[in-house]
Amino acid sequence: AVRNAVSLGGDTDTIACITGSIAEAFYGVPEMIAAEGRKRLPADLREVLERFETVTGRA
C-alpha cells in the first residue's frame, strides 16, 4: 500500500505517511524494529516518546 501511495504522483509524501500510519495501526510494528528506532532517537526525543507511550498506554 505504501509503495502504491508513493507511485501515485502528486503529494506522495503525505499520502505515504497516512498510509504508513494506518498500516502501523492495523499490523503493528515488530518489537525488534521499534527497539532499534528508539535507540536511534536523541535522548530528548526518546523522553517525549516514553511520556507519550505512558499517556496513551502503548508502552
* Buried residues in 11-36 as b, exposed as e (16+ CB within 10 A): eeeebbeebeeeeeeeeeeeeeeeee
Q: CA quadruple 21, 34, 8, 15: dihedral positive or negative?
A: positive
DSSP 58: -
Domain assignment of residue 51, given as a range = 2-56
Helix (H) or strand (E) run with residue 12 in it = helix 12-27
* % residues pLDDT > 70 (the chain): 93
Q: What is the average pLDDT score of the chain?
A: 88
pTM of the model: 0.59
Report the domain count for the chain.
1
